[in-house]
């Protein structure tokens, strides 16, 4: 009989730039809701993923601490949830290697994110960028996590995580790794680029006008929303009316997610109004919700030693869960441990 795994949540964010509204609505805000439901949760700043593309070392250190500040300022309590940066728990990289030997080249080659990020340059990108999803599987499975809250862009990587777990279990005749459940919920599972409603808002996009950063001030937020691409139609009465209007849909989804309301409810309020009326309301709401977070992030960033202490303590707690699972994995694979 297959074992039952205790529910445990894992998720991570890359310190490959500043936090965006997409990271906040698609991931962070939902991490806080999960924590507040009382489920055991492990949240990781996945710095080893960030270096799959070039990162200036000083910028990486800053982004790692700023991301930690973003988690805490958004409501992650490092006493309740485990919060740390990936490179401080070497079991991630160790299990990642085992999974490199389980995953198949063909599986990796089909990953949309790899295709998008490597573009026409696939010969020149790092080997790490290609192997990234197998390290991501290790990040999750080293905790025997059962649920992973993510944005929609990570769906394919989570399917691969299930494939890796299933192949490992099958190859070694065990029921050791759980088949994780992606948790992709809410109106903002894919926040889109403000200048192009068909591509995702991303922290590493070369144009700052495409995204709202969690550290943007009220003026920057208002300007970016005012300049966001839209169409000339008024807002419709129901969400079906947004189907062929990606930019309009994106702004309505952002409004609904920020205000914790269903899209239908937002449309009931704004139906018939144009963007001249809607955008200032959205800017007002975004500033009201994001300003307290960015103020708290700045305050926390005044004390980098305290952030490092929190990450170090989180890494110790993470290690205590991960190490025994890694050792059992080594035993299953047949690697001799004699010290």
| DSSP track, 46-86 | -HHHHTTS---HHHHHHHHHHHHHHHHHHT--TTTSEEEEG
Whole-number Å distance between alpha carbons of 151 and 12: 11
Question: Is residue 167 annotated as part of the catalytic site, yes or no?
Answer: no
Which of 35, 64, 202, 253 contacts ligand AQP by CB under 6 A? 202
Catalytic residue among 14, 29, 200, 224: 200
CA angle 28, 30, 35 (to 5 degrees): 95
Question: Is residue 203 annotated as part of the catalytic site, yes or no?
Answer: yes
Structure tokens at 62: 């800053």
Residue 151 interacting with ligand AQP (CB under 6 A): yes
Catalytic residue among 14, 203, 224, 281: 203
Q: Which residue is nearest to ligand AQP, using beta carbons? A: 26
Whole-number Å distance between alpha carbons of 314 and 43: 9
Catalytic residue among 37, 80, 115, 117: 117
Span near ligand AQP by CB under 6 A; candidates 8-16, 68-76, 103-111, 220-228: 8-16
Residue that the structure tokens 């009382």 belong to: 38
Whole-number Å distance between alpha carbons of 271 and 169: 52
Nearer to ligand AQP, 16 or 85 (CB): 16
Whole-number Å distance between alpha carbons of 19 and 51: 16
Question: Is residue 120 annotated as part of the catalytic site, yes or no?
Answer: no
Footprint (CB under 6 A) of ligand AQP, residues 159-198: 188-191
- Minimum distance between the CB of residue 201 and ligand AQP, rounded to whole angstroms? 4
Residue 224 interacting with ligand AQP (CB under 6 A): no
Nearer to ligand AQP, 23 or 74 (CB): 23
Whole-number Å distance between alpha carbons of 274 and 200: 24
Provide the H-helix boundaries in 173-237.
218-227
Total interface residues for ligand AQP by CB under 6 A: 22
Residue 203 interacting with ligand AQP (CB under 6 A): yes
Binding residues for ligand AQP, per CB under 6 A?
13-14, 16-17, 20, 22-23, 26-27, 150-151, 153-154, 188-191, 200-204
């Amino acid at each position: 009989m297959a074992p039952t795994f205790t529910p445990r949540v894992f998720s991570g964010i890359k310190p490959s730039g500043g936090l965006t509204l997409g990271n906040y609505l698609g991931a962070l805000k939902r991490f806080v809701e999960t924590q507040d439901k009382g489920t055991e949760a492990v949240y990781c700043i996945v710095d080893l993923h960030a270096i799959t593309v070039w990162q200036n070392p000083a910028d990486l250190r800053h982004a790692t601490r700023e991301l930690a500040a973003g988690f805490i300022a958004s409501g992650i309590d490092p006493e309740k949830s485990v919060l740390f940066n990936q490179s401080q728990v070497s079991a991630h990289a160790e299990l990642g290697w085992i999974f490199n030997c389980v995953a198949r080249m063909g599986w990796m080659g089909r990953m949309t994110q790899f295709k998008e990020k490597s573009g026409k340059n696939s010969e020149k990108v790092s080997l790490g960028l290609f192997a990234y999803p197998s390290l991501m599987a290790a990040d999750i499975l080293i905790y025997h996590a059962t649920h992973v809250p993510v944005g929609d862009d990570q769906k394919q990587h989570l399917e691969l995580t299930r494939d890796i777990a299933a192949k490992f279990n099958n190859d070694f005749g065990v029921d050791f790794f759980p088949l994780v459940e992606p948790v992709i919920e809410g109106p903002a599972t894919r926040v889109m680029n403000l200048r192009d409603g068909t591509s995702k808002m991303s922290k590493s996009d070369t144009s700052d006008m495409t995204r709202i950063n969690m550290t943007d001030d009220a003026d920057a937020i208002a300007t970016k929303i005012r300049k966001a691409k839209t169409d000339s139609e008024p807002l419709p009465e129901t969400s079906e009316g947004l189907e062929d209007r990606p930019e309009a849909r994106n702004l309505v989804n952002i409004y609904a997610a920020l205000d914790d309301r269903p899209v239908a409810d937002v449309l009931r309020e704004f139906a018939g109004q144009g963007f001249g009326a809607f955008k200032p309301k959205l800017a007002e709401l975004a500033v009201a919700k994001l300003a307290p977070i960015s103020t708290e992030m700045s305050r926390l960033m005044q004390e980098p030693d305290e952030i490092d202490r929190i990450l170090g303590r989180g890494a110790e707690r993470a290690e205590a869960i991960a190490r025994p699972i890694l050792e059992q994995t080594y035993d299953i694979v047949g690697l001799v441990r004699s010290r």
